[in-house]
Amino acid sequence: MTDIIQLLPDHVANQIAAGEVVQRPASVVKELLENAIDAEASEIKLIIKDAGKTLVQVIDNGKGMSVTDARLSFERHATSKIKSAEDLFQLNTKGFRGEALASIAAIAHVELKTKRPEDELGTAIEIEGSTVKSQEVSVTPTGTSVAVKNLFFNIPARRNFLKSDTVELRHITDEFHRVALAHPNIAFAFYHNGSELFNLPNENYRQRVVHIFGNKTNEKLVPVEEETEVLKISGFVGKPEYSKKTRSEQFFFVNQRFIKSPYLNHAISAAFEGLLKDSYHPSYFLNLTVDPKTIDINIHPTKTEIKFDDEHTLYAILRSAVKHSLGQFNIAPVLDFEHQSSLNTPYSYKDKAASAPAIEVDRSFNPFADDAPSTKQYGQQKNHKKAPTASWESLYVDLESKGNNSNDDFSQVTFESDAKTASIFSDSSVEGTKTTFQLQQKYIVSTLKSGMLIIDQNRAHQRVLYENFLKHITIKEATSQQLLFPLQLHFTPNESNIIKNLKSDLEHTGFVFSGLTEEEITITGVPVGVPESEVSIILEQLISDVENDVPDTNFSTTDLLAKSMAKSLAIKNGQSLNSTEQEHLVNSLFACKEPNVSPTNRPTFITMKVDDIEKKFM
């Protein structure tokens, strides 16, 4: 039998490694930005075309590379960051595996230009699919420029898996945010298709957060500072009233490296316990500094997950630090039994002397006299005329004669009727003729000829609303109700851009916009039946849905919009419905084109036949 195990060729091995390192253009952006930071650059430019599919270029003013280093940088596992396995446990740099450039060069056209400060001329290298096409001396500024063109040109299957330009650009923007927030001392610029998206100068951490997420963010931030032997914490958390339904403003940086940690995220949520509404998430921008020997960052290809030696201690310190900051800045309610706010002296009374209270006594007042002679009023009390006590017998005169009269006329007695609360539907159903009833305030149970029908009220209402919104958007004839006062909502520039792209579709559902800037949206009209208090929740949910799944075609965009609004406005589980509302929902559901499933393709109802029920009793 012949041997069946064989060594893979280098170009195949490179493509496999590229599959781990480069999932999408954002992965290339991350690797190149981290290389520029390791090169001690103070200014970094990121240039993108067609959401990174055509071009990803990073230009820095770092220390550059020699001719030999420039050529070696594209070899597998070639790195200047580590020399032995022990170095993996005391890393202070971003890249260390030496796989990034080799993997990128295996699946793209790469142009590298680099020059050290002490050299007169630099080096230019062109590589296509791991093959070096040219290497020559070049006149180039100090630093390094890496241009990655035509990503996945030799792996069309991987290229077909890329999402739309909007989605890919969002992922690139996320990576840019993560790197820029971790390094506020470095100036960053970000260009897409020739237009400038971000221009961030060298600044402090608070200014960097505000520049990225908008000026309105400044008033939302609460500083967090804590230093112990194990952990140093610095950064900001958002005030509870500005919490979001999405996790888009949650950033952990460990030793200036962005990480995802559900465990540490739970510590923040525990600190905010009792301050947040259901399904809302706190914002935080926290830098954690720990000893590099106590963490392992080599457990995941993207290096966004880190293993800590003592997670429990970090959890406790982080939770306490955030809770302390919320209490220190009077964000969290505090119970202080020793302090009474009523004893605080206003500043206006600072130099005033205390005056003795004046007492007035009416010496002519006699409580036993028939008529109180005094007509004075004491303080805010009114004069009360004392009823004459001598004529008390007159109160009981004629009672005996009235008591003997048995023909009491109760026909004149009227009873006050109970106030009736108006309902959405006039409840004309007679008790005992109900065709539906509600179970656990979640399901609507109805009868069929063959058995029983159980409907999920939330999913059923989603289906009804979804088809209504889809119809309004398609025929462009939605009605809107005008607001008495314009509604002003604040969003980050990225979120405002999403709303701007969906503006025409939103207007077809009934929204009326009077102003739309980078950080503020003014709404003067909303769809009929949408409460004003729900508008911000609807738009936040819509932004979240768009960020997670932006469709390619216009029809799909309207479809997503209808789904998102239906999800926000549908009847929630736990909401009580009267019998008429239940029947109306059932009738509306079965008037839909596809009543069987919700907009997210989940069943809206189930049926139980009589035979199935009878089997339960056997």
Provide the mean pLDDT of the chain: 79
| Residues 176 and 213 occupy one common structural domain | no
| Residues 65 and 157 occupy one common structural domain | yes
Q: Name which of 85-89, 324-328, 372-376 the model is least confident about.
A: 372-376
Q: What is the model's pLDDT at position 191?
A: 93
| Residues 104 and 211 occupy one common structural domain | no
Tell me, what CATH number does 524's domain have? 3.30.1370.100
User: Where residue 234 falls among pLDDT bands split at 50, 70, 90?
Assistant: very high
User: Where residue 5 falls among pLDDT bands split at 50, 70, 90?
Assistant: confident
Q: Dihedral angle at the C-alpha atoms of 224, 227, 232, 237, nearest 10 degrees?
A: -10
% the chain with pLDDT above 70: 78
Domain end call among 172, 200, 228: 200
| Residues 174 and 224 occupy one common structural domain | no
Residue 79, domain member (yes or no): yes
Say how far residue 590 (Cα) sits from the centre of its chain: 35
Q: What is the DSSP letter of 420?
A: P
Q: Is the pLDDT score of 45 beyond 90? A: yes
Tokens 């393709």 appear where?
601
| Residues 522 and 576 occupy one common structural domain | yes
Q: Is the pLDDT score of 376 beyond 60? A: no
Residue 334, domain member (yes or no): no
Q: Is the pLDDT score of 452 beyond 70? A: yes
| Residues 98 and 245 occupy one common structural domain | no
> Which position has the higher pLDDT, 134 or 15?
134
Residue 411, domain member (yes or no): no
Rounded to two decimals, what is the model's pTM?
0.68
Residue 252, domain member (yes or no): yes
Tell me, what CATH number does 93's domain have? 3.30.565.10
| Residues 227 and 168 occupy one common structural domain | no
Q: Is the pLDDT score of 338 beyond 80? A: no
Residue 157, domain member (yes or no): yes
User: Where residue 389 falls among pLDDT bands split at 50, 70, 90?
Assistant: low
Q: What is the model's pLDDT at position 142?
A: 92
| Residues 150 and 191 occupy one common structural domain | yes
| Residues 446 and 595 occupy one common structural domain | yes
% the chain with pLDDT above 90: 17
pLDDT tens by residue, 147-199: 999 988 888 888 888 887 878 888 899 899 999 999 999 999 999 998 888 89
Q: Is the pLDDT score of 609 beyond 60? A: yes
* Count of domains for the chain: 3
Long-range contacts of 131-138 (CB under 8 A, 24+ apart): 132/71, 132/74, 135/70, 135/71, 138/113
Q: Is the pLDDT score of 419 beyond 60? A: no
Q: Classify 608 as helix, strand or coil.
A: strand
pLDDT tens by residue, 253-267: 988 888 888 888 899
pLDDT tens by residue, 477-534: 667 788 888 888 888 777 888 888 888 878 877 788 888 877 788 888 888 777 777 7
The domain containing residue 562 runs over which residues? 438-606
* Contact present, 116 and 142 (Cβ < 8 Å): yes
| Residues 143 and 26 occupy one common structural domain | yes
**What residues form DSSP beta bridges with 527?**
480
Tell me, what CATH number does 273's domain have? 3.30.230.10
| Residues 23 and 163 occupy one common structural domain | yes
Q: Is the pLDDT score of 430 beyond 50? A: no
Rounded to 5 degrees, φ, ψ at 391 are -100, 35
User: Where residue 554 falls among pLDDT bands split at 50, 70, 90?
Assistant: very low
Residue 231, domain member (yes or no): yes
Q: What is the model's pLDDT at position 559?
A: 77
| E strand or H helix at 102 | helix 100-106
Domain end call among 173, 200, 227: 200
Domain end call among 328, 355, 388: 328
| Residues 58 and 172 occupy one common structural domain | yes
Residue 354, domain member (yes or no): no
Q: Which amino acid is at 263?
A: Y
User: Where residue 427 falls among pLDDT bands split at 50, 70, 90?
Assistant: very low
Q: What is the model's pLDDT at position 504?
A: 81
> Which position has the higher pLDDT, 13 or 285?
285
Residue 346, domain member (yes or no): no
